[in-house]
Amino acid sequence: MVNDKMVVGVTNDALMIRIDPELYPMALKKKGCRTMDFNGRTLKGFLLVESIGVQSDKDLLYWIQLSLDFNPKAKAGKQRSAPAKTRRA
């Protein structure tokens, strides 16, 4: 997380990244890169990169930098409020 916005993460065995949606077509051509689907819906701006796409430090830094470059333009996700505390008598 940077500026309360997701940059990168790991899900199962893949790197999850958030990039500028305009870079989507170019990014999907990279080895090991695929769309991120959640509950049957493609999440725009989010991609998964399999281990073959991050085998070197250079590859990993490439994806992280793409995410960091987009971060200032990205919208923060909805903040989840903590459940209300119940008062016991």
Question: 75 lies in a domain?
Answer: no
Question: 16 lies in a domain?
Answer: yes
pLDDT band at 30 (very low <50, low <70, confident <90, very high): very high
Question: 87 lies in a domain?
Answer: no
Question: 81 lies in a domain?
Answer: no
Question: 54 lies in a domain?
Answer: yes
* Dihedral in degrees, nearest 10, Cα atoms 38, 42, 46, 49: 80
Question: 26 lies in a domain?
Answer: yes
Question: 85 lies in a domain?
Answer: no
> Which structural domain, as residue segments, surrounds residue 50?
8-70
What total of structural domains would you count in the chain? 1
One-character DSSP codes across 36-53: EEETTEEEEEEEEE-GGG
pLDDT tens-place string over residues 39-85: 888 888 899 999 999 999 999 999 999 999 998 888 877 655 555 55
The verdict on pTM exceeding 0.95 is: no
- Cross-strand partners of 18: 46
Give me the mean pLDDT over the 12-28 stretch.
92
Question: 49 lies in a domain?
Answer: yes
- Please name the residues in contact with 72: beta carbons below 8 A apart, sequence gap of 6 or more: 3
**Which DSSP symbol is given to 74?**
S
